[in-house]
Structure formats: structure tokens, C-alpha cells
Amino acid sequence: MALIITSEEELNQLAPPALPLATEQYSRQYQDQLNNVLRLYFNRITALQQQLSWGQSVDYIDFSLTTAAPHKTGRVDWDQDDATLEIDMDYGVVQQVGQETFVRVQNETGVTIPNGTVVGSVDASDDALIVTPYIADGSRDTLSVLGVVTHDLPDAGTKGYCTTLGFVREVDTSAFSLGDVIYASPSTAGAFTNVKPTAPANVVPIAQVIKVGSTDGIIFVRPIIEQQEYYGTFVQTISYTPAVINTAYAIPFDTTSIATGFSIGTPTSRIVSANSGIYSVSATLQYISSNAANKTVYSWIRKNGTDIADSCRLIGITGNGSYRSVVVHESVSLDPGEYVEIMFAVTDLSVTLVAVAPTAFAPSAPGTNLVIEQAQQ
């Protein structure tokens, strides 16, 4: 085991020794005494030199468990309150070893990002993730969320620290209660809410409130980040009558009820995916007959202009003014930019894909109601 200097008292042992008073004449006793003093002194120097030599290993290092060392960037000492080693870092940040995890981040927003701000990555440099305050309104992917900055992070490309696990102190938690789970806010970038957001907002649990206070609040950061799921509901609110029998028609959609990751394309029969995944595609189509003759209606799904095998459903309609509905449903794998269409064909032009206005006792009934839900990432 290499020797370790642990106090100034041990360093003082290396002070120049007091040499014996020289005699006027040669004295063997004096010479032996001088040799012994110098030998002991140089032995100590040798021991110190060995301790300072690179490549020397040690069995352990003992830190004081009772004396708190003054904070200084680059210093390691024992944190008595948290019962672990602490590392003093830039900005006065103190990391409790084994109890906190930081990510090196960079601010290029042009303004200071305050301590306690929820951030997400938007880019990266060679040695840091570039972050901005995160808003959970559905405009940003949940996978970009990192955590909470643990100090005021200046602008102009300055690098600092984001806590991904551990305590963040001096946060305003006065609007919450002790123990509240807080989420990334869907209304204010970088803020928290203790009300669970609802779609189309992102649901990102960020932390739990450990201490309530306006200036001395404490949160324990532990983001729960799940891949965002995409969905959409689209309706056709105008009745549609085919012009030719036994001919495939793509149904145009005119209204988006709710959607994240899907949109009505061009032409409006195309429902376009912005993200890859496996999706459950389900459409309810409502038909009406204008005569009593028997006729057949075909309904099915296309992907990228190609019919999906075995997706067709047939119904027969008889009776003047009779309504019939049919549901077509398939699981479809889509890549970004790919699309689905709902198709139909009739054997008689007396069939209309009909949208019905609301009544005093019931809501409107669209001609087609298409629901897309993500089944797998």
C-alpha cells in the first residue's frame, strides 16, 4: 500500500531536521549521529516521493465524517446529511454521488434558463445536449424530455447541468402540496402542473414534491418517459353519392375531430401518417337506400393506393329510406408519409353514403367515421 498524507501534521514531519552540533575534531560518535539523522530524513522524503509517484495504487481513502469541507469546484468530501460523497461542480452545483444523475447540457436560447426548468433536447454539440424549455402541448415529442436544470443556465452556448434523477432545490413549489406528482406543463414552457394533462397534450410525469416553498421548495426528479402514441378521428359530414355502379370511390374527409401524428392529405381521401408504427384502422360507414330494390355495397381499406387484401365487407340494402351501417377494420403498418383511404362501391345508384344532421334528441351522424389508433411503436 502506498503512503498517503492526510494532514499538515504529517507534512511537518518532513521539515529539515535539527543537525547535531559539529565537533572541532573528528568524532566517530558525531559522525554516526549525523548519519542517523540524515538517513531518517531521506527515508521520509523517499516515502513521500513514492506516494506522489504516478501509477501508485492505494487500498482506500478515508474522508472525515464529521468535518464539512468548504465548497470548492473540483473538491470531493463526505456529505454528512446525505450520507454519501459529494462532488463540487460548476455553478455551485453539488452532486451527491450515487443519489443524483446529471446530463451535460447547453443553452442557445439567447436567455437564461432558470433553475427548476423542465427542458428537452433540440440538438447536440460534441460534448453536450442543446436544450430548451419543454412544453407538453403535443408539439414536441416526449422522447426529447431530459429532466430539470439544477441551476440558472446562462445563454449564448453556455454549458451546465440537467438533473435526470435526484433532488433539485430552491424551486417554487408553493402551488403544490407535499407528495404531489408533477407533470410537464402543456400551457407554459418549462413549468410544472399537478394536473395530469389530457390528449392531445403529452403526459410526462417529471418529479415529486418533497418540500413546499416559494424559494426553498425541493422536488425529486424522476421523469417517466414513454414513446408517444399517435391517433386520429376523421369524419365525412357531407353525403356522398357515387356516379357509376361497380366502381371504387375513395371517401373524402372534411373534418378532423382529434389527431396527433395524422392529418388529412391531398386529395382529402388520404389520411397521412407522420410516424412509423402499426395502427388499428377502423371506419364506420353509413348508407341509405332511396328505393326498395335489393342492392349490394362494398366497403374496404387501401394503403398507398393499393387495396388491403381481405379488408372488404359487403352488406345488402333493401327498402326505401332504409339505413345500413358497416364497419371495416384492419391493422396496418405505416411509415412516415404513407396513407390510408376508405373505399366503397355500389351495385345500384340509389345508395348514398349519408350524413345526417343532429336532432333535438341526438347528435349528428357522419357518413363515415374513421378512427386510427396506434397498436405498436
Note whether residue 15 is domain-resident: yes
Single residue among 190, 221, 252 that ends a domain in this structure: 221
Note whether residue 278 is domain-resident: yes
Grid cell at residue 257: 375531430
Please check whether residues 148 and 284 belong to one and the same domain: no
Note whether residue 58 is domain-resident: no
pLDDT digits (tens, 9 = 90+) for 62-84: 888 888 889 999 999 999 988 99
Given a cut of 60, is residue 1 above it in pLDDT? Answer: no
Note whether residue 64 is domain-resident: no
Percent of the chain with pLDDT over 90: 72
Whether the model pTM is above 0.85 = no
Domain containing 33: what range? 8-52
User: 251-259 long-range contacts, Cβ below 8 Å, gap at least 24?
Assistant: 251/285, 251/341, 251/342, 251/343, 251/344, 251/353, 251/367, 251/368, 253/368, 253/370, 255/366, 256/232, 257/233, 258/199, 258/200, 258/231, 258/232, 258/233, 259/200, 259/231, 259/232, 259/233, 259/234
Single residue among 34, 52, 70 that ends a domain in this structure: 52
The residue among 345, 348, 364 whose CA lies nearest residue 356 is: 364
Please check whether residues 277 and 189 belong to one and the same domain: no
Note whether residue 90 is domain-resident: no
Distance CA 249, CA 343 (A): 5
Say which amino acid occupies 301. Answer: I
pLDDT digits (tens, 9 = 90+) for 92-108: 999 999 999 999 999 99
Please check whether residues 290 and 341 belong to one and the same domain: yes
- Would you say 205 and 244 are in contact if contact means Cβ atoms under 8 Å apart? no
Grid cell at residue 342: 376508405
- What is the pLDDT confidence band of residue 187, given thresholds at 50, 70 and 90? very high
Note whether residue 92 is domain-resident: no
Q: Which helix (H) or strand (E) holds 8?
A: helix 8-12
292 or 40: which leads in pLDDT: 292
207 forms beta bridges with 182, 221
Given a cut of 70, is residue 167 above it in pLDDT? Answer: yes
pLDDT, position 51: 62
- Would you say 118 and 148 are in contact if contact means Cβ atoms under 8 Å apart? yes
Residue appearing with cell numbers 371517401: 251
Indicate the burial class of 9 (C-beta count within 10 angstroms; 0-12, 13-18, 19 or more): exposed
Grid cell at residue 276: 412509423
- Cα–Cα–Cα angle for 214, 220, 221, rounded to 5 degrees: 110
Given a cut of 60, is residue 319 above it in pLDDT? Answer: yes
Given a cut of 50, is residue 184 above it in pLDDT? Answer: yes
Residues 6+ apart with CB under 8 A from 158: 106, 107
Please check whether residues 216 and 235 belong to one and the same domain: no
Please check whether residues 372 and 244 belong to one and the same domain: yes
- Would you say 149 and 104 are in contact if contact means Cβ atoms under 8 Å apart? no
Domain count, the chain: 3
Distance CA 254, CA 203 (A): 29
Please check whether residues 259 and 283 belong to one and the same domain: yes
Q: What is the mean pLDDT of the chain?
A: 90
Tell how many helices (H) and how many strands (E) occur in the chain: 2, 25
pLDDT digits (tens, 9 = 90+) for 106-115: 999 999 999 9
Please check whether residues 235 and 372 belong to one and the same domain: yes
Distance CA 289, CA 298 (A): 14
pLDDT, position 306: 98
User: 91-97 long-range contacts, Cβ below 8 Å, gap at least 24?
Assistant: 91/151, 91/152, 91/153, 91/160, 91/161, 92/151, 93/150, 93/151, 93/160, 93/161, 96/166, 96/167
> What secondary structure does DSSP assign to 28-63, as a single string?
HHHHHHHHHHHHHHHHHHHHHHHHHSTT---S--PP
Residues 6+ apart with CB under 8 A from 177: 194, 209, 212
Given a cut of 50, is residue 2 above it in pLDDT? Answer: no
